[in-house]
Amino acid sequence: MAVMDVLEKAQGGHLFRKLGELAGLAPSDARRATEALCPSIAARLHEKAREPQEFQKLLALLEDNDGDLLESGDPGSSDVREDGQSVLISLYETGEAVQAQAHEAAEALRMDRSSIERLQPIAASLVLAVLSDRYRQVEETEAGEGSQTAEETDQNGHGGEGKSTILGIAIAAIGTAIMRAVINRLMPRRRRTRYSYATRGQKRRQKRRREVRLEDLFKNMLR
């Protein structure tokens, strides 16, 4: 789904009215301004995230973003503006370049520059909210498919009527215990590595990130 398709339904359908109030524009003009700003910001994020390191940074950013702006978050809050401005600086490199993009959009739309400058960082935060929502959807799909595959494998692994007998389970458990004891005898002892909770969480996030692809996040968003 394209960015604007998502934003049309955001905040119960009242997003553009709220943006218009913040920028001193009619809701229809706020929509036009958002339509000019958001897709270009999404396209720049997509292009920058083609670099593996930048993609990991983007995913970390999306993990910390709760996507609340699509529901009931305040688009005019200082946090939204600051986060959006940080994204813009990372994309355009300097504050002057960010401002130049706002002025270019204002001239193209024939709108007041100050109105576009007020909306620009909010537009960047909205793009992040849309991507964050897509990120969670992709993760849930990955988890669901993995669970289904595991269940099918488990079912196919049982013989006959699809259920293991108690005797079969007991024999398998005894065989596993014997094999483990033999391996422990043969293998040299190693110091057990201890992980903190934070480290384990980091490893889980890295594993999830490998499962999420760039094109999964931006699919149909740039049209």
Amino acid at position 119, single letter? L
Report residue 194's pLDDT band, with 50, 70 and 90 as the boundaries: very low
Measured CA angle at 221 (ends 121, 114), to 5 deg? 20
**Residue boundaries of the structural domains of the chain:** 3-144+206-218
Report residue 192's pLDDT band, with 50, 70 and 90 as the boundaries: very low
Maximum Cα–Cα distance across the chain: 80
Query: What are φ and ψ of residue 61, in 5° steps?
Result: -65, -40
Is 0.85 surpassed by the pTM of this model?
A: no
Query: pLDDT, tens digit, for every residue of 95-129?
Result: 999 999 999 999 999 999 999 999 999 999 999 99
* DSSP string across 93-158: SSHHHHHHHHHHHHHHHT--HHHHHHHHHHHHHHHHHHHHHHHHHHHHHHHHHHHHHHHHHHHHHS
Query: pLDDT, tens digit, for every residue of 131-141?
Result: 998 888 887 77
